[in-house]
Amino acid sequence: MLVVLGYVSFLKWRGLRKNKGFGRVGCCPKEFVYKEVKLAIKEFHASRVIGNESFGTVYKALLESSRTITTIKSSTQDDGKTKFLPELSIIASLRHKNLVQLLGLCVEKGELLLEMLA
């Protein structure tokens, strides 16, 4: 019994260590590649800007699957991004008819990009 409990504890500990990366949030449906997002927004072209908000600039993006999504490019500093990542687990799990669904994110090249259903 004690051996089984020790083994289960070890597996949980090992799983927690693997998920502590900066760019990894285990809750999100997809982790987008920066190159893929950049192409979908036409390299952050001004014609793709939908608006600006306190968190960053909102872009209209078209994925290869012909799915239209919105992308928010964060305007916060790097330390602000690391503080925001734990909150993504809550945002990604929310489902309501009046809320936009978080599809995934991209954390590369010092950027935090959130992909939302349009």
**Whole-prediction pTM value?**
0.62
Which residue in this structure is represented by tokens 């959130």?
Answer: 114
The predicted model gives 20-27 an average pLDDT of 46
pLDDT value at 19 more than 50 = no
Which residue in this structure is represented by tokens 């968190």?
Answer: 55
- pLDDT band, residue 20 (cuts 50/70/90): very low
What is the residue-wise DSSP string for 92-118? HH---TTSPPEEEEEEETTEEEEEEE-
Can you give the pLDDT at residue 14?
Answer: 57
Cβ–Cβ contacts within 10 Å for residue 32, how many? 23
Q: What are the structural domains, with CATH classification, of the chain?
A: 22-117 (3.30.200.20)
